[in-house]
Amino acid sequence: DVKVTQSSRYLVKRTGEKVFLECVQDMDHENMFWYRQDPGLGLRLIYFSYDVKMKEKGDIPEGYSVSREKKERFSLILESASTNQTSMYLCATRRTTNEKLFFGSGTQLSVL
Amino acid sequence: DQQVKQNSPSLSVQEGRISILNCDYTNSMFDYFLWYKKYPAEGPTFLISISSIKDKNEDGRFTVFLNKSAKHLSLHIVPSQPGDSAVYFCAASAPGAGSYQLTFGKGTKLSVIP
């Protein structure tokens, strides 16, 4: 079974703090994704990476950056957290295109 | 512009009856469709998928139907069980450069009443 591990289940940060969300997968998957889920808005893609050191913007990249230095690890960075970034953050991986995504358990981030 | 639409935010069904969740899409390039199920405070889990070369795919109690001409797909759950109560997301992808991305609908919250 694919295991996608997100470093924290719950996180509380202050406005203006730099926030790191980490995601690690154990299946040598090429593609990794960061989504956020908000009530009534579904899952929205922030960034994705199709290979090591490669990254592409998703639908809502503003206020975020990412890093993929190793194949198994994909980090989401909030440079200066704001209250509108309070959300459930979901990491996902996929072996290649046209295959299903495997999701982590999510990180519920609250920015106060 | 929403390319994948789930027009029913919620659905209530009696245990043992059929649940039908609907999804419409606007991008005619979409050729691969998936359904995910999500419980609160957990990540989505894959349920079932269908490619555009088929019009039906079945897995146990779950069946997905695809009507390409209508740009419509549906998920049928028969019989519905209380454990099926969750949010269901429809997702789609297109071939080519866009195939890196899955586009998700906003979800339908299914409640199965015992």
- Say how far apart CA A102 and CA A29 lie, in whole Å: 10
For B42, the closest of A43, A45, A105 (CB atoms) is A105
Percentage above 90 pLDDT, chain A: 75
A30: nearest CA partner in chain B: B100
Q: Do B46 and A41 touch (CB under 8 A)?
A: no
Q: What is the pLDDT of residue B88?
A: 97
Q: Which residues of B touch A (CB under 8 A)?
A: 6, 9, 32, 34, 36, 38, 41-46, 49, 51, 89, 91, 93, 95, 99-102, 104-107
Going by pLDDT thresholds of 50, 70 and 90, the confidence category of residue A39 is: confident
Q: Give the pLDDT confidence of A69-98 residue by residue, as tens digits.
A: 999 999 999 999 999 999 999 999 998 766
Tens of pLDDT along A10-34?
999 999 999 999 999 998 898 999 9
Using the predicted structure, report yes or no on whether residue B107 has a pLDDT greater than 90.
yes
Identify the weakest region by mean pLDDT among B34-38, B39-43, B74-78: B39-43
Alpha-carbon separation of residue A69 from A23, A28, A90, B100, B112 (angstroms): 12, 14, 19, 19, 44
Q: How far apart are CA B94 and CA B43, in angstroms?
A: 23
Sign of CA pseudo-dihedral B3, B95, B75, B38? negative
pLDDT for residue A2: 73
Nearest Cα neighbor of B26 from B94, B100, B82 is B94
pLDDT tens-digit map of B1-28: 789 999 999 999 999 999 999 999 999 9
Among B95, B96, B91, residue whose Cα is nearest residue B107: B91
Q: A108 vs B45: CB contact, 8 Å cut-off?
A: no
B29/B38 Cα distance (integer angstroms)? 26
Least confident of A45-54, B8-17, B81-90: A45-54
